[in-house]
Amino acid sequence: MRDASPPNLHISRHPLVAHKLSILRDVSTEPKKFRELVRELTWLLGYEAMADLAPRAKQVETPLEVTDGAELEPRVGLVPVLRAGLGMVDAMLELVPTAEVWHIGLYRDERTLKPVEYYNKLPDAATVQICLILDPMLATGGSAAATVDILKAWGAVRIKQVSLIAAPEGVATLSGAHPDVDIHVAAIDRALNERGYIVPGLGDAGDRQFGTFAGPGSEPGHGPDPETVEVVRRLQRDLTS
């Protein structure tokens, strides 16, 4: 994968990223710790993703004298893809407190694996010079490509994707549809399984952040224990009887 990587793909080589990602993947990592790690990894990846933003010269008065300084020139927009992307927002706002935050809601149809838009609160016209799409998982790439389509139609000129892990299929889909979008990730995993989940992956990032699960058929690594499954099934039977 490295040899065939598209030029817009940026995989972090920082040892802290590798260390924190390993803990994030661990099935025993509880939601509170998982959220903390998502935030820390986002901070590190966001730092790398914004390394090429152009600063503007500015004079700064220190306690001793006036000196040359800099301030961020382009207005930055953060676009977390609901709901898993919400856990990445605070870290990015720590880096860029003046950033605007706009939410886009997409879900993946479990039968077609295609993205379906259900929420979009973008203003009438683009108000920022660069948009960072925040989504922990770049799996099939369909949701990412659809989000970029929405942002470009909105008027966004420069767009970056920031994800924790990605599948080769997702990178290929997004790069093929939008080669001008830089992709910043902590790691590229092996592949997608038959259900469209990244393997080895880390489970469902939204479920693991918020302590929820997708039902008895959840992917191993983020689903409920057998006792919880039985309780859910009993409740479902009661509701439908």
**Options 90, 112, 180, 190, the catalytic residue:** 112
Q: In this structure, is the dihedral angle defined by the CA atoms of residues 34, 222, 232 and 140, taken in order, positive or negative?
A: positive
State CA 191 to chain mean position distance.
18
Asked if 207 is an active-site residue, the reply is yes
Asked if 112 is an active-site residue, the reply is yes
Contact call for residues 222 and 204 (beta carbons, < 8 A): yes
**Options 135, 182, 189, 207, the catalytic residue:** 207
Strands (E), 14-141: 55-61, 66-72, 76-82, 100-101, 104-108, 115-120, 130-134, 137-138
Element (H, E) at 171: helix 168-177
**Options 140, 173, 204, 208, the catalytic residue:** 204
Q: Phi first, then psi: what are they for 137, rounded to 5°?
A: -120, 130
Angstrom distance (rounded) from CA 214 to CA 26: 19
Contact call for residues 174 and 148 (beta carbons, < 8 A): yes
**Options 108, 127, 149, 158, the catalytic residue:** 108
Contact call for residues 221 and 195 (beta carbons, < 8 A): no
The one-letter code for the residue type at 51 is: A
User: Rg of the chain's alpha carbons, rounded to an integer?
Assistant: 20
- Give the active site residues: 108, 112, 204, 207
